[in-house]
């Protein structure tokens, strides 16, 4: 009897999962279909049923830790009523890492929405499960029981099809965003592949961005590996920025090492800039060390600028020290004086005034 009861409870839970309600979609004609083992076949079948514009949607578990993702449309009456307009061209996305007390701190699922027009995919959107959507009168087919692995596999295939047809990267970038918000190692692997060998530099950069912004420790491990193998300075500067987005322990320390040891002066300078933007313990010391000891004059000058960017005027004392230090290169002292003159600190203005009076 006890075993039969457990089986019955399990069937009830399974049934409730398989027929989970879609997000709150208004102004639409919603239909529901079950997906088998191949999400691609289900999407293709829906695409071939007619050339009218429609939406195909499903939900999957969301990456851990955050993402409230919805939209706010300037002047959009639908958004003002609390619904995100799928058909509006005026879209402003709002994303939270879970620390904003005005937004739900954590979500469990994301909704992936595909806009089909003339039997082909034209757009891919992703929203958090708590975002209310307005379909603008379009039909919405909700696919049930889609796994994260199925969704990742289909989205990855879609990027390959789009780039193979020579279309712009806009749709592929939308897909990468959706991939980044999927829970599980499948999304980590695909983003790593695009970051390694995307068919265009813009796709590589987009994948690198999301590895830092959304993928936590797994993303940091990929970025760290790329820094050891990548030779393209532009790509490495994008990795430097992505490190500032990462929530994983050790990301800023890796950025500090990059600013000190990378063989490319452009990469060292960019890393110092982002390190200063991030601030925090040790940032000022790391940037000042570059001013004093980096072998490249342009990097030293960029480090001066980075000092001026430290939050809360932290770099002012260091800039004053550099201007007053006769052992520093004249060009470095001049650069420090220039950025001091841009500040509103009274000490900096007094120093500039003294110099002009001599």
Q: What is the mean pLDDT of residues 162-182?
A: 80
The number of CA neighbours under 13 Å toward the Cβ of 247 is 12
Strand partners, 109: 61
The pLDDT of residue 166 is above 60: no
Rounded to the nearest angstrom, the gap between the alpha carbon of residue 116 and the centroid of all alpha carbons in its chain is 25
Element containing residue 237 per DSSP (H, E): helix 233-245
Q: Exposed, middle or buried: residue 155 (CB in 10 Å: 0-12, 13-18, 19+)?
A: buried
> How many Å apart are CA 288 and CA 299, to the nearest integer?
11
* Beta carbons of 47 and 120 less than 8 angstroms apart: yes
Query: What's the pLDDT score for residue 316?
Result: 87
Report pLDDT digits (tens) over 220-265.
999 999 999 999 999 999 999 999 999 899 999 999 999 999 999 9
Mean pLDDT, the chain, whole residue set: 83
Rg, Å, the chain Cα set? 25
**Which domains does the chain show, CATH number per domain?**
20-146 (no CATH), 250-358 (1.25.10.10)
Would the pLDDT of 295 be above 60? yes
Residues paired with 232 in a beta bridge: none
Answer whether 200's CB lies under 8 Å from 188's CB.
Answer: no
User: What pLDDT does 324 receive?
Assistant: 86
C-beta atoms surrounding 355 within 10 Å: 12
**Which pTM value belongs to this model?**
0.84
Cβ proximity of 306 and 319 under 8 Å = no
The torsion angles phi and psi of 231, rounded to 5 degrees, stand at -115, -10
Mean pLDDT of 139-145: 94
Q: Residues 6 or more apart from 166 whose CB is under 8 A from it? A: none
Distance CA 175, CA 113 (A): 10
Q: Give the model's pLDDT for residue 33.
A: 93
The two three-digit tokens of residue 79, written as one number:
């958004």
For residue 138, count other CB atoms closer than 10 A to its CB: 19
Give 72-122 pLDDT, tens digit per residue. 644 444 444 467 888 876 655 566 655 555 555 577 899 999 999 999 999
Is a pLDDT exceeding 80 seen at residue 344?
no
CA distance 279 to 283: 5
């Amino acid at each position: 009897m006890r075993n039969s009861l457990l089986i019955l409870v399990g069937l009830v839970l399974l049934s409730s999962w398989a027929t989970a309600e879609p997000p709150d979609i208004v102004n639409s004609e919603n239909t529901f279909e079950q997906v088998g083992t191949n999400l691609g076949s289900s999407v293709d079948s829906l695409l071939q049923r007619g050339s009218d514009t429609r939406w195909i949607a499903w939900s999957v578990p969301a990456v851990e830790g955050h993402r409230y993702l919805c939209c706010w449309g300037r002047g959009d009456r639908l958004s003002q009523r609390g619904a995100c307009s799928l058909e509006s061209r005026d879209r402003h996305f709002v994303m939270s890492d879970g620390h904003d007390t005005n937004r739900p701190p954590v979500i469990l699922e994301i909704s992936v929405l595909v806009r089909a027009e003339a039997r082909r995919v034209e757009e891919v959107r992703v929203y958090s499960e708590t975002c209310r959507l307005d379909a603008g009168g379009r039909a919405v087919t909700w696919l049930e029981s889609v796994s994260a692995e199925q969704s990742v596999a289909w989205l990855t295939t879609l990027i390959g099809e789009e780039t193979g047809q020579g279309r712009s990267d806009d749709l592929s970038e939308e897909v990468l965003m959706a991939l980044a918000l999927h829970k599980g190692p499948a999304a980590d692997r695909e983003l790593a592949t695009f970051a390694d060998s995307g068919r265009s530099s813009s796709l590589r950069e987009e994948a690198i961005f999301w590895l830092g912004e959304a993928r936590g420790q797994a993303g940091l491990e990929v970025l760290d590996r790329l820094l050891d193998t990548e030779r393209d300075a532009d790509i490495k500067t994008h990795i430097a920025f992505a490190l500032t987005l990462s929530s994983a322990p050790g990301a800023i320390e890796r950025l500090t090492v990059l600013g000190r040891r990378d063989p490319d002066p452009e990469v060292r300078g960019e890393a110092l800039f982002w390190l200063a933007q991030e601030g925090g313990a040790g940032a000022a010391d790391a940037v000042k060390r570059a001013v004093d000891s980096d072998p490249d004059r342009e990097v030293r000058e960029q480090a001066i600028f980075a000092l001026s960017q430290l939050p809360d005027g932290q770099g002012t004392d260091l800039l004053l020290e550099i201007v007053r230090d006769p052992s520093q290169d004249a060009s470095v002292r001049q650069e420090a004086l220039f950025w001091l003159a841009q500040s509103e600190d009274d000490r900096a203005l007094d120093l500039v005034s003294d110099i002009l009076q001599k």
